[in-house]
Amino acid sequence: MRTTPALIVGGGPAGASAAITLARAGAPHLLVERSRETGDAICGGFLSWRTLESLARLGVAAEMLGTARITQTRIIAGDRVVEASLPRPALGVSRRMLDTVLLAQAVAAGAAVERGVTVRSLSSTTATLDDGASLASDTLFLASGKHDVRGMARPAEARGDDPVLGLRVRIAAAPGLTRLINDAVELHLFDRGYVGINLQEDGSANVCMAVHRSAMLAAGSPAALLDALARDHPRLGDRLAYRAGTEPIDAIANVPYGWRALRGDPGVFRLGDQAGVIPSLAGEGMGIAIASGIRSANAFLAGGAAAAPRFQADLARATRRPITLAGLVRDAAERPRVALAALPLLSHIPGLIETIASLTRIGHAPLDHSPR
């Protein structure tokens, strides 16, 4: 049986942020990541101004992630469009780019990283790997994203009676598509779901969708759903018309939006989506992931494995407002009549969209800074 003082399961933004923080402090650890090569992920693509501040603390400047600046939001429901400036510029970045830069930063800081290692199950702080071997640790940082690991899975009831599926498709760069989207993050609303679109560092469009299972079943397949949405929603159809038709559609089932880990066990730090799942329309999933990685590592450096329960409770409090507010907005967005009634309100109250955007960010906290 192999052992390590601290085991990080997952090499996405949460796990990499924890690894960078631990490596900088010289704390022994091991990060294991199931993928051998970095690819795109189904979530992410938008980094808020608050997230860029967290990344700067890790030594990752915005310029390292491309130049796809986002300065406004555009909400589209039926034939109504509402636009507003973001409180501060954000960035459109593919997960391939973000994860590559963060893991490279971790390795440069001295992090121990092993790729192609799949954790099949967890028992307390001991991992059973795909090959049957065990990897024991005193402290576990669970950063497996939206994918649950047996033994540490989030509760099934968090998914609800009509669970949400996440879909993602990448549309290659095209001048016409760039003119349509420009420097905005778009939110297209429809019955029982929504589509978010923004440009990424290479000019491609990241198209992410959250849709209830009932709507997917009614359409028949992800491709059929996209075709139906393009037909029924002309402005969305204008964007989807740039699909070649051969792009892969990534999918993940049973996303427990709104769930939070309210308490924790000694030695187990839950990070990112394993700590709380904010509706993707808020664009703060990466922010929570990165902040939780930094804060968990700093809590561990200050108090060891015993600091995990307090960290988890503090993170649950920090994410309560953004996750709750994003859930209320999501509930309204998925109901066409409510959404159509709300859009005039958003357009006639100056600053309302900007205020909602600010309130759905995770705030600053002392653990954003390493202990001295």
pLDDT at 183 over 70: yes
Task: Round the average pLDDT of the chain to a whole number and report it.
Answer: 94
Tens-place pLDDT, residues 260-314: 999 999 999 999 999 999 999 899 999 999 999 999 999 999 999 999 999 999 9
According to the model, what pLDDT value does residue 50 have?
95
pLDDT at 137 over 70: yes
DSSP designation for 125: T
pLDDT at 338 over 90: no
Q: Which amino acid is at 106?
A: A
Q: Which amino acid is at 209?
A: M
Picking from 54, 59, 50, 64, the residue whose alpha carbon sits closest to that of residue 24 is: 59
pLDDT at 334 over 80: yes
Three-class DSSP labels, 46-61:
EECHHHHHHHHHCCCC
Lowest-pLDDT range, 102-116, 117-131, 357-371? 357-371
Q: What percent of the chain has pLDDT over 90?
A: 84
Q: Where are the domains of the chain?
A: 2-65+94-156+257-332
According to the model, what pLDDT value does residue 349 have?
84
Report the Cα 306 to chain-centroid distance in Å: 27
According to the model, what pLDDT value does residue 372 have?
60
Find all residues with CB under 8 Å of 234, minimum gap 6, and list them: none
The domain covering 2-65+94-156+257-332 belongs, at the CATH homologous superfamily level, to FAD/NAD(P)-binding domain (3.50.50.60)
pLDDT at 3 over 70: yes
Find all residues with CB under 8 Å of 286, minimum gap 6, and list them: 13, 43, 44, 46, 47, 48, 51, 98
Max alpha carbon distance in the chain (Å)? 63
Measured CA to CA, the distance from residue 282 to residue 294 in angstroms comes to 21
According to the model, what pLDDT value does residue 159 have?
78
Tens-place pLDDT, residues 225-248: 999 999 999 999 999 999 998 999
Number of other residues whose CB lies within 10 A of the CB of residue 5: 15
pLDDT at 156 over 90: no
Is residue 318 within 8 Å of residue 363, measured between CB atoms?
A: yes
What the block records as the tokens of 108 is 């440069």
**Stretch (H or E) spanning 237:** helix 234-240
pLDDT band at 41 (very low <50, low <70, confident <90, very high): confident
Number of other residues whose CB lies within 10 A of the CB of residue 308: 25
Q: Is 41 helix (H, G, I), strand (E, B) or coil?
A: coil
Is residue 119 within 8 Å of residue 34, measured between CB atoms?
A: yes
Residues of 224-263 as b/e, b for ≥16 C-beta within 10 angstroms?
ebbbebbeebebbeebbebbeeebebbebebbbbbbbbee
Q: Which amino acid is at 272?
A: G
What the block records as the tokens of 110 is 């001295």
Measured CA to CA, the distance from residue 5 to residue 18 in angstroms comes to 14
Tens-place pLDDT, residues 55-78: 999 999 999 999 999 999 999 998
- Output the DSSP codes for 132-194: S-EEEEEEEEE--TTS--BTSPPPGGGG-SS-EEEEEEEE---HHHHHHHTTEEEEEEETTEE
Sign of CA dihedral 335, 185, 345, 230: negative
- Output the DSSP codes for 292-333: HHHHHHHHHHHHGGGGHHHHHHHHHHHHHHHHHHHHHHHHHH
